[in-house]
Structure 1
Amino acid sequence: MENRTALSITGIDKLDSNPMFLMGFTYKQFRAKVSHELSEASGISLEMFGAIKVLNTHGQMTQQELSDLLLRNRSVTKRLVDNAIKLNLIAASKSETNKKVKLLALTDEGQAVMLKCSPIVNDISQQFQSSLTKDESQQLTQLLAKLINMDEFVD
């Protein structure tokens, strides 16, 4: 297995050996590949895939619950949901108990897109981790999970 610890990306040793820089660069490459493939396959974004995956896993929920599970601001989630509704991937309905609450659910078309796109995301993820052993991949996941602050939203 090739040792990539001496990889020169920028030619600046302190930057090229910075784990945060390397994580960001790796994610940009992963995101670009996944975004292109999802767009080609179904015309959706990686964020939209995340939303339909959450709805598929957890079922009907409020927009706030979706925001919380995606760790996204409500305004970003609203825009994402509005676009998914236009594509008929997500359906919105009023709550029976609280008419102010909008409940979101995956449509049949959303389910089909999720089933079509899940293998794409899984395949690309495996490609990106192909140079790691199973133990290294598990260790990387554990280390990255330690760095996540669940109280911070990203957009």
Structure 2
Amino acid sequence: MLALLAVTAAGCATNKEELLTHGGRTMQDIWRQEAGDGGSGGNVAGRQLLDARQSLRRPLIKADEQAAAAQQARYTRTAANEIQRQFHRLPNPDLVMYVFPHLAGSDPVPVPGYSTVFPLYQRVQYAMPGERVEDY
């Protein structure tokens, strides 16, 4: 019991500043340095990031604007393309199952053999535009 009390007292005697030193910097100072808002290291990193983003940016030219309009027009419904299907149905083959003659019910009644048809997939699946264009 005395040992447990000594261990507990030693644990409470530690200082937060000894365990978690931060060198006198506040959280705001650390954030600014890492985000590039100030300090020497963060500012260089922020400038490099900005330069990399700037190299990826470019202005749109007329050809880009016309190509975007043409591509969007493919998905726009008009009277001309209203009768054409854009999302074709994927094949869902029918399965034929033969049920052998058997007895059914609590009072066994003979049931003759028969065939039944059901689709392979439970739901109808559709292809994306252009993914599958042949007719089924």
Do Structure 1 and Structure 2 share a fold, with TM-score over 0.5?
A: no
Q: TM-score, normalised by structure 2?
A: 0.20
More strand by share: 2
Larger RCO of the pair (alpha carbons < 8 Å, separation 6+):
1
- Tell which structure's C-alpha radius of gyration is larger: 2
Q: TM-score, normalised by structure 1?
A: 0.18
